[in-house]
């Protein structure tokens, strides 16, 4: 409540500007907490479209207490629903396989080169298309289906700001009736966390 009052005062009574200030503070809070270990959390399932699409999702936080809060559970539900609707292939940019990266860059480079533009311009075009590629295939970079102006990463950062704990999406799998599945989208853990499992 006090944070809202301070933000309103800082924004000169402008509610929309106050919301931006609060969101920025949530991002700053999330950045400070990013290095903290997340060894608690939940694995949840979400079934959509009359049983035709299903999602298994693991989201981690720092304590069991936070994992049981309505805010955390709501975030997990929203992310599950987003995965069911949008079908990302990876959790984050760092998870994209080198072969997928090389293939996409080669395609974009060939498309840009075919326009006859100079090499420096071709590379800028490839950079722009790769940013769009990450947005299409990486969960954390995707615009949230309920609020397109916010990415999944920003949505998580907002909840981190509210709950005061680091929150990470560890992995997910999406299933659709009749569709072949490749692999589970996952993130490799640092060696210390791998030993703990």
Do strands 40-48 and 53-61 pair parallel, antiparallel, or not at all (unpaired)?
antiparallel
Q: Give the whole-angstrom CA distance, residue 155 versus residue 159.
A: 7
- DSSP lists the bridge partners of residue 56 as 45, 173
Distance CA 59, CA 75 (A): 9
pLDDT score recorded for residue 18: 72
Q: What is the DSSP string of 50-109?
A: TTTEEEEEEEEES-HHHHTSHHHHHHHHHHHHHHHHH--SBSSGGGS-HHHHHHHHHHHH
Fold exhibited by the domain 37-92+164-197: Tetrahydropterin Synthase; Chain A (3.30.479)
Q: Domain coordinates of the chain in residue numbers?
A: 37-92+164-197
Once rounded to an integer, what is the mean pLDDT over residues 61-77? 94
pLDDT digits (tens, 9 = 90+) for 136-172: 999 999 999 999 999 999 999 999 988 988 999 999 9
């Amino acid at each position: 409540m006090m944070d809202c009052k301070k933000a309103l005062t800082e924004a000169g009574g402008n509610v929309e500007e106050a919301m931006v200030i609060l969101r920025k503070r949530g991002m700053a809070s999330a950045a400070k907490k990013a290095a903290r270990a997340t060894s608690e959390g939940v694995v949840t399932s979400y079934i959509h479209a009359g049983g035709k699409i299903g999602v298994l999702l693991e989201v981690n936080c720092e304590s069991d207490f936070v994992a049981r809060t309505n805010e955390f559970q709501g975030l997990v539900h929203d992310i599950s629903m987003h995965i069911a609707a949008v079908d990302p292939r990876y959790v984050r940019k760092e998870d994209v396989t080198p072969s997928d990266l090389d293939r996409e860059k080669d395609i974009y480079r060939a498309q840009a080169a075919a326009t006859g533009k100079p090499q420096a311009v071709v590379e800028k075009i490839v950079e722009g298309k790769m940013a769009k590629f990450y947005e299409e295939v990486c969960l954390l970079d995707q615009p949230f289906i309920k609020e397109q102006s916010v990415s999944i990463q920003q949505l998580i950062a907002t909840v981190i700001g509210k709950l005061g704990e680091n929150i990470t999406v560890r992995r997910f799998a999406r299933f659709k009736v009749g569709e072949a599945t490749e692999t589970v989208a996952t993130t490799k853990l640092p060696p210390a966390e791998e030993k703990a499992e």
